[in-house]
Amino acid sequence: MTRSDALFARAQTLMPGGVNSPVRAFGSVGGTPRFMVSAKGPYLTDADGTEYVDLVCSWGPALLGHAHPAVLEAVHAAVDRGLSFGASTPDEANLAALVQERVPAAERVRMVSTGTEATMTAVRLARGFTGRNLIIKFAGCYHGHLDGLLAAAGSGVATLALPGSAGVTEATAAETLVLPYNDLAAVEAAFAAHGPSIAAVITEAAPANMGVVTPGEGFNLGLSRITREHGALLIVDEVLTGFRTGYSGYWGLTGGAPDAAEPWTPDLLTFGKVIGGGMPAAALAGRADVMDYLAPLGPVYQAGTLSGNPVAMAAGVATLTHATHDVYSFVDVRSLELSSALSSALDSEGVDHSIQFAGNLFSVAFGTSANGVHNYADAQAQETFRYAPFFHSMLDSGVYLPPSVFEAWFLSAAHDDAAMNRIFDALPAAAKAAAAAQA
């Protein structure tokens, strides 16, 4: 029995499933989850002392690499000043200013503690501002575990093959319209039928919780046009892509790009993960007139004792300050190198697949070369049985992948040549394992 085996056995007697977030339980890939005890640069070390090249990067926040010296220095200094004050601190505004500088659509910023809290607040704010009840979301997009948005969600819900969640009432579910992703005609039809009752459309800037799915050309632009025409709001969820896929997130690569052929601007955005630099932090941002509907200025109430926590704010400020354009260029190159090597290894073994991109994020989908993956139905129809043997082969070779085929792969500015070569060396055997897999 390994140390991870023993730790997992103990955890299962203390916590539901032995974990505090479902995907960590290795439910879709099988085996014992590795219990990590330290991280540095591009590497993780588990409780048995085994080192792995990390392609999860804390699900995004470790953009600079684990334990980046500047982030650690900022956190240590903040800890020395006190862990929490329950009062305003300078770094709340400092981090908000960095967000606004990168994302001009963020005219006002409200700090919260989790991505779920950010999207929950965005939905409440949209309803309060418009006076309407209905929300449109897309199948396979994951916006946290708030009741009304768990219908046909991705992430761990996709991994567990759950259509929603027990505990969500029919009345709550009825206030969410779930449409196929990348289908503007379905959005037009929903507004034709329910337009005066629709408060907002919420979408991931680029979905990365059913695997990565690239938005079709003009899709996000079309959402902006349709919501504007009908007096609804467009909420763009960048909890995962924000400050990850580029300096200004995925919106900054597309509708908000300086050279965008058809620019568009969301009404509200949500951020998480990278914005906290590895600490629990997230944010809601957007149009000043909408954001000012939040208390204490407006009638939409939101509060959080640990919102804007000084240690988390320090980590976020340090991370965004050091996440320069050069950092994103480096991660972009590494992403292209790895995705190309992955595809070549699978091709060598005759494994049918496609790779979807959203900036420097990508994922592999088995058995989808003919049409790729454009929506949740496509993602669910892939040959998921090939991923578990692929995953475990990589794990045995010292490479830690997302323990679900429905997740993105992450690289960092710390993935140097030595780390990349370890990944490349592991791919041929993993491709063979995927090829030999049986449904």
pLDDT tens for each residue of 292-350: 999 999 999 999 999 999 999 999 999 999 999 999 999 999 999 999 999 999 999 99
Pairwise CA distance, residues 297 & 417, whole Å: 51
pTM of the model: 0.94
Please confirm, yes or no, whether 273 is among the known catalytic residues. yes
Pairwise CA distance, residues 180 & 152, whole Å: 10
What pLDDT shows up at residue 153?
52
Phi, psi angle pair for 352, to nearest 5°: -65, 135
Beta-carbon contacts of 69 under 8 Å, excluding residues fewer than 6 positions away, are none
pLDDT tens for each residue of 377-393: 999 999 999 999 999 99
Average pLDDT over residues 172-185: 90
Average pLDDT over residues 78-104: 97
Write out the two tokens for 45: 């070390």
What pLDDT shows up at residue 152?
61
Pairwise CA distance, residues 135 & 201, whole Å: 6
What pLDDT shows up at residue 390?
98
With a cut of 90, say whether residue 216 has pLDDT above it.
Answer: yes
The mean pLDDT of the chain is 94
- Choose the catalytic residue: 52, 91, 137, 142: 142
Please confirm, yes or no, whether 432 is among the known catalytic residues. no
With a cut of 50, say whether residue 116 has pLDDT above it.
Answer: yes
pLDDT tens for each residue of 235-288: 999 999 999 999 999 999 999 999 998 899 999 999 999 999 999 999 999 999
What pLDDT shows up at residue 166?
77
With a cut of 90, say whether residue 165 has pLDDT above it.
Answer: no
Pairwise CA distance, residues 21 & 59, whole Å: 12
With a cut of 90, say whether residue 184 has pLDDT above it.
Answer: yes
| 164 band by pLDDT with thresholds 50, 70 and 90 | low
Please confirm, yes or no, whether 378 is among the known catalytic residues. no
Contact call for residues 108 and 292 (beta carbons, < 8 A): yes
Percent of the chain predicted with pLDDT > 70: 97
Write out the two tokens for 237: 């969820």
Element (H, E) at 180: none
Name the residue among 128, 130, 92 with its Cα closest to residue 108. Answer: 92
- Choose the catalytic residue: 46, 91, 237, 267: 237
Percent of the chain predicted with pLDDT > 90: 91
- Residue 255: how many other CB atoms lie within 10 Å: 22
- Choose the catalytic residue: 43, 273, 376, 432: 273
